[in-house]
Amino acid sequence: MAMLLGKKVGMTQVYDELGKLVPVTVIQAGPCVVMQVKTAETDGYNAVQVGFDEVKPLRRKNPQIGHAQKADTTAKKFVKEMRLPDDAEQQHKVGDSITVSVFAENEFVDVIGTSKGKGFAGVMKRHGFSGFPASHGTERKHRAPGSISSFASDAGHGGGPKRGKKMAGHMGNRRVTTKNHKLVAIDEEKNLLVVKGPVPGPAGGYCIVRSAKKAGVEQKA
Amino acid sequence: MKTEMLDAVESKSLKKKIPHFEIGDIVDVHCLIKEGDKERKQVFTGTVIARKGRGINETFTVRRIVNNEGVERIFPLHSPNVLDIRPVRSGKARRAKLYFLRERTGKAVKLAHRHSGHTISK
Protein backbone atom coordinates (compact mmCIF):
# COMPACT_ATOMS: atom_id res chain seq x y z
CA MET A 1 0.00 0.00 0.00
CA ALA A 2 1.66 3.14 -1.20
CA MET A 3 0.37 6.67 -1.04
CA LEU A 4 1.59 9.94 -2.44
CA LEU A 5 0.33 13.52 -2.48
CA GLY A 6 0.27 15.38 -5.75
CA LYS A 7 -1.05 18.14 -7.90
CA LYS A 8 -3.01 17.65 -11.11
CA VAL A 9 -1.11 19.17 -14.02
CA GLY A 10 -3.57 18.52 -16.85
CA MET A 11 -4.58 16.04 -19.47
CA THR A 12 -2.97 14.95 -22.72
CA GLN A 13 -2.69 11.83 -24.86
CA VAL A 14 0.04 9.23 -25.44
CA TYR A 15 0.36 6.25 -27.76
CA ASP A 16 0.52 2.84 -26.09
CA GLU A 17 2.55 -0.13 -27.33
CA LEU A 18 -0.35 -1.23 -29.58
CA GLY A 19 -0.38 2.14 -31.33
CA LYS A 20 -3.61 3.26 -29.67
CA LEU A 21 -4.03 6.80 -28.45
CA VAL A 22 -4.66 6.75 -24.69
CA PRO A 23 -6.13 9.73 -22.79
CA VAL A 24 -3.98 10.40 -19.72
CA THR A 25 -3.81 12.75 -16.76
CA VAL A 26 -0.43 14.03 -15.63
CA ILE A 27 0.04 14.35 -11.86
CA GLN A 28 3.02 16.02 -10.28
CA ALA A 29 3.45 13.77 -7.25
CA GLY A 30 5.94 14.13 -4.46
CA PRO A 31 8.55 14.26 -3.22
CA CYS A 32 6.60 14.10 0.03
CA VAL A 33 8.27 14.59 3.40
CA VAL A 34 7.37 12.43 6.39
CA MET A 35 6.32 15.03 8.97
CA GLN A 36 5.27 12.70 11.77
CA VAL A 37 5.18 8.99 12.49
CA LYS A 38 2.27 7.78 14.59
CA THR A 39 2.49 4.44 16.35
CA ALA A 40 0.04 2.30 18.28
CA GLU A 41 1.90 2.97 21.54
CA THR A 42 1.93 6.76 21.34
CA ASP A 43 -1.16 7.57 19.27
CA GLY A 44 -3.32 4.47 19.41
CA TYR A 45 -2.91 3.68 15.72
CA ASN A 46 -0.26 3.35 13.05
CA ALA A 47 0.05 6.12 10.49
CA VAL A 48 2.46 8.37 8.67
CA GLN A 49 1.85 12.08 8.18
CA VAL A 50 3.23 13.36 4.89
CA GLY A 51 3.48 16.87 3.49
CA PHE A 52 3.73 18.15 -0.06
CA ASP A 53 4.33 21.44 -1.86
CA GLU A 54 6.39 24.37 -0.66
CA VAL A 55 4.71 27.46 0.74
CA LYS A 56 6.03 30.76 2.10
CA PRO A 57 6.50 30.41 5.89
CA LEU A 58 4.47 33.57 6.52
CA ARG A 59 1.46 31.84 4.98
CA ARG A 60 1.56 29.13 7.67
CA LYS A 61 0.80 29.51 11.37
CA ASN A 62 3.50 29.15 13.99
CA PRO A 63 2.33 25.75 15.30
CA GLN A 64 2.56 24.35 11.78
CA ILE A 65 6.03 25.79 11.27
CA GLY A 66 7.14 24.34 14.60
CA HIS A 67 5.61 20.98 13.74
CA ALA A 68 7.56 20.93 10.48
CA GLN A 69 10.78 21.89 12.23
CA LYS A 70 10.60 18.70 14.28
CA ALA A 71 10.91 16.82 11.00
CA ASP A 72 13.76 19.14 9.99
CA THR A 73 11.76 20.54 7.06
CA THR A 74 9.68 23.56 6.11
CA ALA A 75 5.92 23.87 6.56
CA LYS A 76 4.04 22.31 3.66
CA LYS A 77 0.87 23.39 1.91
CA PHE A 78 -0.82 20.00 1.63
CA VAL A 79 -0.52 17.62 4.60
CA LYS A 80 -2.30 14.28 4.86
CA GLU A 81 -2.07 11.12 6.88
CA MET A 82 -1.47 7.65 5.50
CA ARG A 83 -3.06 5.03 7.73
CA LEU A 84 -1.11 1.80 8.15
CA PRO A 85 -2.36 -1.56 9.45
CA ASP A 86 -2.14 -1.83 13.23
CA ASP A 87 0.33 -4.69 13.17
CA ALA A 88 2.51 -3.17 10.45
CA GLU A 89 6.16 -2.41 11.06
CA GLN A 90 6.99 1.26 10.66
CA GLN A 91 9.37 1.60 7.73
CA HIS A 92 9.32 5.38 7.57
CA LYS A 93 11.33 7.75 9.69
CA VAL A 94 10.54 11.39 10.34
CA GLY A 95 12.17 13.53 7.68
CA ASP A 96 12.19 10.76 5.05
CA SER A 97 11.35 11.69 1.49
CA ILE A 98 8.82 9.65 -0.46
CA THR A 99 8.97 9.86 -4.25
CA VAL A 100 7.15 8.42 -7.26
CA SER A 101 9.44 5.36 -7.06
CA VAL A 102 6.97 3.83 -4.57
CA PHE A 103 4.82 3.03 -7.60
CA ALA A 104 5.61 0.81 -10.54
CA GLU A 105 4.53 1.16 -14.14
CA ASN A 106 1.33 -0.66 -15.21
CA GLU A 107 0.23 -0.75 -11.58
CA PHE A 108 -3.32 0.34 -10.75
CA VAL A 109 -3.95 3.38 -8.56
CA ASP A 110 -6.89 5.24 -7.04
CA VAL A 111 -6.91 9.04 -7.18
CA ILE A 112 -8.72 11.13 -4.58
CA GLY A 113 -9.38 14.78 -5.30
CA THR A 114 -11.84 17.62 -4.78
CA SER A 115 -14.22 17.88 -7.72
CA LYS A 116 -14.82 21.13 -9.56
CA GLY A 117 -17.55 23.18 -7.88
CA LYS A 118 -20.69 23.68 -9.97
CA GLY A 119 -22.56 25.93 -7.53
CA PHE A 120 -26.29 25.53 -6.84
CA ALA A 121 -27.41 23.17 -9.58
CA GLY A 122 -30.85 22.00 -10.60
CA VAL A 123 -31.96 18.37 -10.68
CA MET A 124 -31.30 17.92 -14.41
CA LYS A 125 -27.64 18.79 -14.08
CA ARG A 126 -27.12 17.38 -10.60
CA HIS A 127 -29.01 14.09 -10.82
CA GLY A 128 -29.68 13.64 -14.52
CA PHE A 129 -33.47 14.05 -14.34
CA SER A 130 -35.18 14.29 -17.73
CA GLY A 131 -37.13 17.50 -17.08
CA PHE A 132 -40.31 18.33 -19.00
CA PRO A 133 -41.07 18.87 -22.69
CA ALA A 134 -40.02 22.16 -24.25
CA SER A 135 -43.49 22.70 -25.72
CA HIS A 136 -46.91 20.96 -26.01
CA GLY A 137 -48.35 23.17 -23.31
CA THR A 138 -45.53 23.01 -20.76
CA GLU A 139 -45.31 26.30 -18.92
CA ARG A 140 -42.59 27.56 -16.53
CA LYS A 141 -41.46 24.07 -15.47
CA HIS A 142 -39.18 22.81 -18.22
CA ARG A 143 -36.38 21.83 -15.85
CA ALA A 144 -38.46 21.21 -12.71
CA PRO A 145 -38.11 18.03 -10.59
CA GLY A 146 -41.81 17.15 -10.77
CA SER A 147 -43.66 15.84 -7.77
CA ILE A 148 -41.43 15.36 -4.74
CA SER A 149 -43.92 13.57 -2.52
CA SER A 150 -47.54 12.95 -1.71
CA PHE A 151 -49.39 12.87 1.55
CA ALA A 152 -49.29 9.09 1.52
CA SER A 153 -45.62 8.74 0.59
CA ASP A 154 -44.60 7.85 4.14
CA ALA A 155 -47.75 6.05 5.29
CA GLY A 156 -48.53 6.41 8.96
CA HIS A 157 -46.14 9.28 9.51
CA GLY A 158 -47.95 11.99 7.63
CA GLY A 159 -46.86 13.58 4.40
CA GLY A 160 -43.56 15.09 3.37
CA PRO A 161 -40.70 14.15 1.06
CA LYS A 162 -38.76 11.00 1.86
CA ARG A 163 -35.30 11.32 3.30
CA GLY A 164 -32.63 11.28 0.62
CA LYS A 165 -34.97 12.59 -2.10
CA LYS A 166 -32.87 13.91 -4.95
CA MET A 167 -33.32 17.65 -5.21
CA ALA A 168 -31.53 20.74 -6.42
CA GLY A 169 -28.58 21.92 -4.35
CA HIS A 170 -24.87 22.43 -4.25
CA MET A 171 -22.99 20.30 -6.75
CA GLY A 172 -19.30 19.50 -6.93
CA ASN A 173 -16.49 20.77 -4.69
CA ARG A 174 -16.51 17.59 -2.64
CA ARG A 175 -14.13 14.70 -2.14
CA VAL A 176 -14.29 12.25 -5.03
CA THR A 177 -12.35 9.01 -5.52
CA THR A 178 -11.76 7.53 -8.95
CA LYS A 179 -10.61 3.94 -8.85
CA ASN A 180 -8.29 1.71 -10.83
CA HIS A 181 -6.38 4.06 -13.06
CA LYS A 182 -3.61 2.32 -14.93
CA LEU A 183 -0.21 3.93 -14.36
CA VAL A 184 0.88 4.48 -17.94
CA ALA A 185 4.26 6.07 -17.22
CA ILE A 186 6.41 7.36 -14.39
CA ASP A 187 8.96 10.15 -14.71
CA GLU A 188 11.28 9.88 -11.71
CA GLU A 189 13.34 12.85 -12.79
CA LYS A 190 10.42 15.29 -12.98
CA ASN A 191 8.31 13.53 -10.30
CA LEU A 192 5.44 12.88 -12.67
CA LEU A 193 2.82 10.14 -12.64
CA VAL A 194 0.90 9.54 -15.85
CA VAL A 195 -2.42 7.81 -15.20
CA LYS A 196 -5.03 6.68 -17.69
CA GLY A 197 -8.29 8.60 -17.75
CA PRO A 198 -9.56 11.71 -16.01
CA VAL A 199 -9.13 12.41 -12.28
CA PRO A 200 -11.30 14.68 -10.09
CA GLY A 201 -10.59 18.37 -9.72
CA PRO A 202 -9.19 21.24 -11.75
CA ALA A 203 -5.67 21.46 -13.15
CA GLY A 204 -3.55 22.65 -10.24
CA GLY A 205 -5.81 20.95 -7.70
CA TYR A 206 -4.36 18.75 -5.00
CA CYS A 207 -4.95 15.02 -5.06
CA ILE A 208 -3.97 11.85 -3.26
CA VAL A 209 -2.65 8.92 -5.29
CA ARG A 210 -2.71 5.52 -3.64
CA SER A 211 -2.37 1.90 -4.74
CA ALA A 212 -5.74 0.56 -5.89
CA LYS A 213 -7.70 -0.77 -2.93
CA LYS A 214 -9.67 -3.18 -5.06
CA ALA A 215 -7.56 -4.59 -7.84
CA GLY A 216 -10.36 -4.59 -10.35
CA VAL A 217 -11.05 -4.05 -13.99
CA GLU A 218 -9.24 -1.23 -15.69
CA GLN A 219 -11.28 1.96 -15.74
CA LYS A 220 -12.73 2.82 -19.11
CA ALA A 221 -11.57 6.18 -20.34
CA MET B 1 5.50 25.14 -16.03
CA LYS B 2 2.26 23.32 -16.67
CA THR B 3 2.77 22.99 -20.41
CA GLU B 4 6.39 22.09 -19.82
CA MET B 5 5.38 19.03 -17.83
CA LEU B 6 2.66 18.06 -20.28
CA ASP B 7 5.09 18.42 -23.17
CA ALA B 8 7.57 16.18 -21.38
CA VAL B 9 4.96 13.41 -21.25
CA GLU B 10 3.72 14.01 -24.78
CA SER B 11 7.17 14.21 -26.34
CA LYS B 12 7.82 10.52 -25.69
CA SER B 13 4.98 9.66 -28.05
CA LEU B 14 6.06 12.07 -30.77
CA LYS B 15 8.05 10.93 -33.77
CA LYS B 16 11.59 12.21 -33.90
CA LYS B 17 11.61 12.80 -37.61
CA ILE B 18 8.63 13.64 -39.79
CA PRO B 19 9.17 13.46 -43.55
CA HIS B 20 8.72 16.80 -45.22
CA PHE B 21 5.55 17.05 -47.31
CA GLU B 22 3.34 19.93 -48.35
CA ILE B 23 -0.33 20.61 -48.99
CA GLY B 24 -1.16 19.55 -52.54
CA ASP B 25 1.47 16.82 -52.66
CA ILE B 26 0.55 13.37 -53.82
CA VAL B 27 1.86 11.09 -51.07
CA ASP B 28 2.23 7.38 -50.41
CA VAL B 29 1.19 6.71 -46.82
CA HIS B 30 2.54 3.41 -45.56
CA CYS B 31 0.38 2.22 -42.72
CA LEU B 32 0.41 -0.84 -40.54
CA ILE B 33 -2.81 -2.85 -40.44
CA LYS B 34 -3.32 -5.31 -37.61
CA GLU B 35 -5.75 -8.18 -38.15
CA GLY B 36 -5.76 -10.38 -35.09
CA ASP B 37 -2.16 -11.50 -34.73
CA LYS B 38 -1.23 -10.74 -38.30
CA GLU B 39 0.34 -7.49 -39.37
CA ARG B 40 0.58 -6.18 -42.89
CA LYS B 41 1.53 -2.98 -44.61
CA GLN B 42 -0.90 -1.02 -46.73
CA VAL B 43 -0.12 1.94 -48.95
CA PHE B 44 -2.69 4.69 -49.38
CA THR B 45 -1.91 7.10 -52.20
CA GLY B 46 -3.62 10.44 -52.63
CA THR B 47 -3.47 14.22 -52.42
CA VAL B 48 -2.80 15.92 -49.09
CA ILE B 49 -5.69 18.35 -48.73
CA ALA B 50 -5.32 19.44 -45.11
CA ARG B 51 -2.98 19.36 -42.18
CA LYS B 52 -4.23 20.45 -38.81
CA GLY B 53 -3.69 20.19 -35.07
CA ARG B 54 -0.59 20.69 -32.97
CA GLY B 55 1.73 18.33 -31.16
CA ILE B 56 0.36 14.87 -30.62
CA ASN B 57 -3.00 15.87 -32.08
CA GLU B 58 -1.59 16.78 -35.48
CA THR B 59 -3.35 15.04 -38.36
CA PHE B 60 -3.34 15.20 -42.14
CA THR B 61 -6.06 14.37 -44.65
CA VAL B 62 -5.36 12.43 -47.83
CA ARG B 63 -7.94 12.34 -50.64
CA ARG B 64 -8.09 10.03 -53.61
CA ILE B 65 -10.68 8.86 -56.13
CA VAL B 66 -11.59 5.16 -56.03
CA ASN B 67 -14.15 3.87 -58.57
CA ASN B 68 -15.41 7.39 -59.22
CA GLU B 69 -15.99 7.87 -55.51
CA GLY B 70 -13.96 10.29 -53.44
CA VAL B 71 -12.23 8.65 -50.45
CA GLU B 72 -10.60 10.62 -47.66
CA ARG B 73 -8.51 9.25 -44.85
CA ILE B 74 -7.37 11.25 -41.86
CA PHE B 75 -4.05 10.04 -40.46
CA PRO B 76 -2.64 11.01 -37.06
CA LEU B 77 0.81 12.27 -37.94
CA HIS B 78 2.51 10.76 -34.90
CA SER B 79 0.71 7.41 -34.85
CA PRO B 80 3.10 4.45 -34.74
CA ASN B 81 0.80 2.79 -37.28
CA VAL B 82 1.72 5.40 -39.87
CA LEU B 83 5.08 3.97 -40.85
CA ASP B 84 6.14 6.32 -43.60
CA ILE B 85 4.92 9.24 -45.67
CA ARG B 86 6.54 9.58 -49.10
CA PRO B 87 5.73 12.57 -51.29
CA VAL B 88 5.83 11.40 -54.91
CA ARG B 89 4.59 14.45 -56.83
CA SER B 90 4.25 18.03 -55.85
CA GLY B 91 1.09 19.94 -56.70
CA LYS B 92 0.55 23.67 -56.97
CA ALA B 93 -1.63 24.83 -54.09
CA ARG B 94 -2.29 28.42 -53.09
CA ARG B 95 -4.17 27.72 -49.90
CA ALA B 96 -3.68 25.62 -46.77
CA LYS B 97 -6.90 23.61 -47.06
CA LEU B 98 -7.84 22.15 -50.44
CA TYR B 99 -11.46 21.36 -49.60
CA PHE B 100 -12.54 22.78 -52.97
CA LEU B 101 -11.26 19.52 -54.52
CA ARG B 102 -14.31 17.78 -53.05
CA GLU B 103 -16.53 19.62 -55.55
CA ARG B 104 -14.43 18.58 -58.48
CA THR B 105 -14.59 15.43 -60.59
CA GLY B 106 -12.62 13.92 -63.44
CA LYS B 107 -9.49 15.60 -64.65
CA ALA B 108 -10.16 18.71 -62.57
CA VAL B 109 -9.04 17.00 -59.35
CA LYS B 110 -5.47 17.05 -60.58
CA LEU B 111 -3.40 19.95 -59.38
CA ALA B 112 -0.87 21.62 -61.63
CA HIS B 113 2.54 20.08 -61.21
CA ARG B 114 5.00 22.12 -59.25
CA HIS B 115 8.70 21.40 -59.52
CA SER B 116 9.89 20.89 -56.01
CA GLY B 117 12.98 19.30 -54.55
CA HIS B 118 11.34 17.37 -51.74
CA THR B 119 9.44 14.79 -53.81
CA ILE B 120 10.88 11.46 -54.85
CA SER B 121 10.31 10.25 -58.39
CA LYS B 122 8.94 6.76 -58.78
Sort out which chain A residues have CB atoms less than 8 A from B57's CB and list them: 13
Over residues A192-209, the pLDDT tens digits come to 999 999 999 999 999 999
Mean pLDDT of B88-112: 87
- Residue at A218 is within a domain: no
A109 and A183 housed in the same domain: yes
User: Would an 8 Å CB–CB cutoff place A26 in contact with chain B?
Assistant: yes
Calpha distance B62→A151 (Å, rounded): 66
Contact B10, B58 (CB under 8 A): no
Mean pLDDT computed over every residue of chain B: 88
Mean pLDDT computed over every residue of chain A: 87
A125 and A111 housed in the same domain: no
Q: What pLDDT is attached to residue A158?
A: 67
Contact A192 B9 (CB under 8 A): yes
Sort out which chain A residues have CB atoms less than 8 A from B83's CB and list them: none
Shortest CA gap A22–chain B (Å): 11
Over residues A4-43, the pLDDT tens digits come to 999 999 999 999 888 889 999 999 997 888 888 888 888 8
Q: Provide the ipTM.
A: 0.78
Fold of B10-96: SH3 type barrels. (2.30.30)
- Residue at A217 is within a domain: no
A30 and A136 housed in the same domain: no
Sign of the dihedral defined by the CA atoms of residues A219, B4, B8, B10, in that order: positive
A41 and A28 housed in the same domain: yes
- Residue at A219 is within a domain: no
A166 and A180 housed in the same domain: no
Shortest CA gap B2–chain A (Å): 6
Confidence of residue A125 (pLDDT cuts 50, 70, 90): very high
Q: So where are chain B's domains?
A: 10-96
Q: What pLDDT is attached to residue A3?
A: 87
User: Would an 8 Å CB–CB cutoff place A19 in contact with chain B?
Assistant: yes
A56 and A24 housed in the same domain: yes
- Residue at A188 is within a domain: yes
Q: What pLDDT is attached to residue A217?
A: 60
A89 and A190 housed in the same domain: yes
| Tally of structural domains, chain A | 2
A89 and A185 housed in the same domain: yes
- Domain residues for the domain of A164 are 119-171
Q: For chain A, give the secondary structure using H, E and C.
A: CCEEEEEEEEEEEEECCCCCEEEEEEEEECCEEEEEEECHHHHCCCEEEEEEEECCHHHCCHHHHHHHHHCCCCCEEEEEEEECCCCCCCCCCCCCEECHHHCCCCCEEEEEEECCCCEEECHHHHHCCCCCCCCCCCCCCCCCCCCCCCCCCCCCCCCCCCCCCCCCEEECCCEEEEEEEEEEEEECCCCEEEEECCCCCCCCCEEEEEECCCCCCCCCC
- Residue at A216 is within a domain: no
Confidence of residue A220 (pLDDT cuts 50, 70, 90): low
